[in-house]
């Protein structure tokens, strides 16, 4: 497939071997990497600022595993080195390791963006209200527990659908507010917005 030629920071042969040479499935995994981890450096640094070192380790560990499975070697290594640095002593200066992780992450994300793999919003499958309600309940629970990685993953699931036909304009606006709150790491606000949306998602007549 044409998208492979854009992936210079991937060992695509290695990545394809891991998925049985299925290029379509490999493309789906690349989309998931972008969807789930595109803000990982910012998420990681926010955790460090709050001294939430356990959550910070979860972030880089998750990136490390996904990058390794897809053949993104540089990102796999830099995420692993950062994870090891956290394990040894999270209070030490991690700026050099963090900068290398940020650079390798940026290289990978830019290549996925330029590959043509990412779908335009109009190409997304339509979502339905009951599915959204279930996802919002899960998101509210994760945000209330301040589980940032889990909250972002649930939001990524929500973002994988087109809600324009299923939601009234005011609900679409509230969903955008929720995306903003999660993106800015305002988890208590995100939990409150999710709860409000759940209450308002009554079936259409």
**Token pair for residue 30?**
């690349």
Counting residues of the chain whose pLDDT is more than 70, the rounded percentage is 95
What is the reported pLDDT for 39? 87
Q: At what angle do helices 40-49 and 95-114 cross, to 10 degrees?
A: 150
pLDDT digit string, tens, across residues 58-113: 889 989 998 998 999 999 999 999 999 999 998 889 999 999 999 999 999 999 99
Q: Give, in order, the Cα–Cα distances in Å from 34 to each of 120, 136, 203.
A: 14, 21, 33
Place of tokens 């090891």: 84
Mean pLDDT within 169-185: 83
Place of tokens 């290695």: 14
Q: Is the pTM of this model over 0.85?
A: no
Residue 144 Cα to chain centre, angstroms: 19
Number of Cβ within 10 Å of residue 1's Cβ equals 11
């Amino acid at each position: 497939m044409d998208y492979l030629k854009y992936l210079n920071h991937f060992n695509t042969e290695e990545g394809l071997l891991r998925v049985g040479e299925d290029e379509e499935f490999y493309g789906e995994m690349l989309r998931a990497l972008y969807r789930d981890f595109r803000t990982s450096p910012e998420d990681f640094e926010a955790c460090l600022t709050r001294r939430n070192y356990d959550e910070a380790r979860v972030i880089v560990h998750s990136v490390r595993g996904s990058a390794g499975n897809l053949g993104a070697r540089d990102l796999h290594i830099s995420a692993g080195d950062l994870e090891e640095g956290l394990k040894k002593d999270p209070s030490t200066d991690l700026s050099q390791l963090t900068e290398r992780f940020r650079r390798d992450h940026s290289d990978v994300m830019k290549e996925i963006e330029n590959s043509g793999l990412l779908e335009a919003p109009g190409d997304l499958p339509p979502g339905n209200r009951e599915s959204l309600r279930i996802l919002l309940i899960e998101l509210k629970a994760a945000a209330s527990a301040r589980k940032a990685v889990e909250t972002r993953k649930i939001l990524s699931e929500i973002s994988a659908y087109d809600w324009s036909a299923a939601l009234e304009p005011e609900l679409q606006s509230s969903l955008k507010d929720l995306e903003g709150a999660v993106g800015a790491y305002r988890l208590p606000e995100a939990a409150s917005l999710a709860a409000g949306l759940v209450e308002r998602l009554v079936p259409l007549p």
